[in-house]
């Protein structure tokens, strides 16, 4: 086919390989240059033309033939400068870079608009799950006000295995690393950074207001214990790392990532292993959940290739392509600090097995305007102590933290093991 659209790839890792293999099946596009970190690395690609491989990514963004650049290397630099250079040189962008968009999305989207180019990023939020395009098109008539999502496959895999096996976090992490589900340095996943990058951009798009990454509250899964998993099950919950966002009072946004006890009546409670899912709540649609593979070679490639072909279909048709997919936000969301939010809480406490200890916990809560939904005491065989599990009614975070401070200074309290928010 003549006049093929010329594509340049930056990155030929897991996602880049999937994109290359998938695009080979389309006769209206041609990959003419691929930038890699190591030209000598053996790759699982049949009949790869080595002549199009370079270790200089600027050969991609400065190539006058290339019309679309797919940036698939991740991180802030050199991706940020490469994308700006490509845009300056008249190229449209497809990216899977959640960190870059969370930290510098506003600048990049404004820069692209100034040069009349588009940046598409379906793969940057939930891998293979179609999400951004539906929000911008099919769901465009809705006012979306709430998002609850599982956006990180590594943490969801770890929590699922802890739940099923009754194993500790550290044991399951080691297993996940051996299987390739977790990185050697898992910090980005297990401390919630990855999910926080994603919910920053997702909330910005869904609420049509810019959410700043530095205002997103973040808490990881490293403190979750097998005992918490067991207690959650007994009470009808599952523990998941939830990325949530809620738009309140027109312009105030409560955006955060932290573990939650999710009621087993909710769809997200049953999203297991590396699967991702996003529940959107809005008017008039009500509640919609989209789920599927959140990472991997071909699922993520599906989103990248979809974005590439969306651009290809519009090229040369008019001077201002894909207007619905562009970011034209002119209003920043006002952040709600976590201390001012209202939540239900699960609290696990080890105490001396003595008279009045439950009353002391109840008094600390009462003095800080917190009502208890349930309180259960179990005797622990080792030593003269007890484990007390509390579920609160809705209360303010700042009041809950005051209670924790009181308990930590009470001689009858041996330890506050866990404090986990409960999805309402």
Question: pLDDT tens digits, residue range 214-235?
Answer: 999 999 999 999 999 999 999 9
State residue 355's pLDDT score: 84
In a domain, 380, yes or no: yes
Assess whether 197 and 286 both reside in one domain: yes
Q: By C-alpha distance, which of 11, 116, 30, 120 is closest to 73?
A: 11
In a domain, 16, yes or no: yes
Which of these is catalytic: 33, 198, 238, 344?
Answer: 198
Residue 240: other Cβ atoms inside 10 A? 28
In a domain, 390, yes or no: yes
2 confidence band (pLDDT: 50, 70, 90) = low
In a domain, 373, yes or no: yes
Please provide the average confidence, as pLDDT, over all residues in the chain: 95
CB 347 within 8 A of CB 357: no
State residue 391's pLDDT score: 97
Assess whether 16 and 157 both reside in one domain: no
Give rounded-to-5 percent helix, strand, coil for the chain. 35, 30, 35
Domain with 45 in it: what CATH number? 3.40.50.720
Assess whether 176 and 274 both reside in one domain: yes
Assess whether 396 and 313 both reside in one domain: no
In a domain, 333, yes or no: no
- The model's pTM is 0.95
What token pair was written down for 193? 């950074």
Q: Does 381 have pLDDT greater than 70?
A: no
In a domain, 331, yes or no: no
Paired with 242 in beta bridges are 258
Residue 344 falls in the annotated catalytic set: no
Assess whether 317 and 276 both reside in one domain: no
Residue with tokens 């709540």: 281
Give the C-alpha separation, 146 to 244, whole Å: 8
Q: What percent of the chain has pLDDT over 70?
A: 99
State residue 157's pLDDT score: 95
Q: Does 307 have pLDDT greater than 90?
A: yes
- The mean per-residue pLDDT over the stretch 338-358 comes to 93
State residue 266's pLDDT score: 96
Give the C-alpha separation, 326 to 137, whole Å: 12
Q: Could you report the per-residue pLDDT of 116-143, keeping only the tens digit for each?
A: 999 999 999 999 999 999 999 999 999 9
Assess whether 60 and 29 both reside in one domain: yes
Q: Which residue range forms the structural domain that includes residue 160?
A: 132-293
Q: By C-alpha distance, which of 32, 16, 6 is closest to 298?
A: 16
Assess whether 106 and 176 both reside in one domain: no
Q: Could you report the per-residue pLDDT of 9-29, keeping only the tens digit for each?
A: 999 999 999 999 999 999 999
Q: How many domains are there within the chain?
A: 3
Domain with 206 in it: what CATH number? 3.30.360.10
Assess whether 142 and 254 both reside in one domain: yes
Q: Could you report the per-residue pLDDT of 138-174, keeping only the tens digit for each?
A: 999 999 999 999 999 999 999 999 999 999 999 999 9
Assess whether 370 and 274 both reside in one domain: no
Last residue of a domain, one of 269, 293, 317: 293
Q: Could you report the per-residue pLDDT of 276-306, keeping only the tens digit for each?
A: 999 999 999 999 999 999 888 999 999 999 9
DSSP H or E stretch at residue 202: helix 193-207
CB 293 within 8 A of CB 275: yes
Q: Does 271 have pLDDT greater than 70?
A: yes
Domain with 390 in it: what CATH number? 3.30.70.260
Paired with 8 in beta bridges are 33, 69
Assess whether 112 and 16 both reside in one domain: yes
Q: Does 1 have pLDDT greater than 60?
A: no
Assess whether 252 and 302 both reside in one domain: no
CB 34 within 8 A of CB 70: no
In a domain, 385, yes or no: yes
179 confidence band (pLDDT: 50, 70, 90) = confident
- The mean per-residue pLDDT over the stretch 67-85 comes to 97
Q: When comparing pLDDT for 10 and 42, which is higher?
A: 10
Give the C-alpha separation, 310 to 302, whole Å: 12
What token pair was written down for 262? 């999710």
Assess whether 246 and 309 both reside in one domain: no
């Amino acid at each position: 086919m003549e006049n093929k659209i010329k594509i340049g790839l930056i990155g030929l890792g897991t996602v880049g390989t999937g994109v290359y293999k998938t695009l080979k099946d389309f006769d209206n596009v041609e990959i003419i240059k691929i930038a890699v970190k190591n030209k000598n690395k053996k790759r699982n690609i049949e009949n790869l033309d080595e002549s199009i491989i370079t270790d200089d990514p600027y050969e991609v963004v400065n190539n006058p033939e290339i019309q679309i650049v797919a940036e698939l290397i991740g991180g802030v630099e050199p991706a940020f400068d490469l994308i700006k250079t490509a845009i300056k040189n008249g190229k449209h962008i497809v990216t899977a870079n959640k960190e870059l968009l969370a930290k510098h999305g506003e600048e990049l989207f404004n820069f692209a608009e100034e040069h009349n180019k588009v940046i598409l990023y379906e793969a940057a939020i939930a891998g293979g799950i179609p999400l951004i395009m539906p929000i911008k098109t099919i769901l465009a008539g809705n006012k979306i006000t709430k998002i609850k999502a599982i956006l990180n496959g590594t943490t969801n895999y770890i929590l699922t295995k802890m739940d099923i096996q009754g194993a500790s976090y550290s044991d399951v992490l080691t297993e996940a690393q051996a299987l390739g589900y977790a990185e050697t340095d898992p910090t980005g996943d297990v401390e919630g950074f990855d999910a926080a990058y994603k919910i920053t951009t997702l909330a910005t798009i869904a609420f049509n207001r810019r959410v700043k990454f530095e205002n997103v509250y973040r808490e990881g899964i490293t403190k979750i214990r097998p005992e918490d998993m067991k207690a959650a099950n007994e009470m009808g919950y599952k523990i998941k790392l939830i990325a949530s966002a809620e738009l309140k009072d027109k312009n105030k946004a409560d955006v955060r990532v932290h573990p939650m006890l999710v009621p087993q009546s909710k769809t997200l409670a049953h999203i297991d292993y590396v699967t991702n899912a996003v529940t959107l709540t809005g008017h008039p649609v009500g509640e919609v959940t989209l789920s599927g593979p959140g990472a991997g070679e071909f699922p993520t490639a599906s989103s990248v290739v979809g974005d590439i072909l969306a651009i290809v279909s519009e090229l040369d048709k008019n001077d201002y392509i894909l207007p619905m997919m562009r970011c034209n936000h002119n209003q920043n969301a006002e952040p709600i600090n976590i201390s001012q939010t209202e939540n239900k809480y699960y609290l696990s406490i080890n105490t001396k097995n003595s008279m009045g200890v439950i009353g002391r916990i109840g008094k600390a809560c009462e003095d800080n305007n917190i009502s208890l939904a349930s309180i259960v005491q179990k005797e622990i065989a080792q030593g003269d102590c007890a484990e007390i599990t509390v579920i609160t009614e809705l209360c303010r975070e700042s009041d809950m933290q005051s209670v924790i401070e009181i308990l930590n200074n009470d001689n009858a309290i041996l330890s506050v093991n866990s404090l986990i928010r409960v999805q309402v």
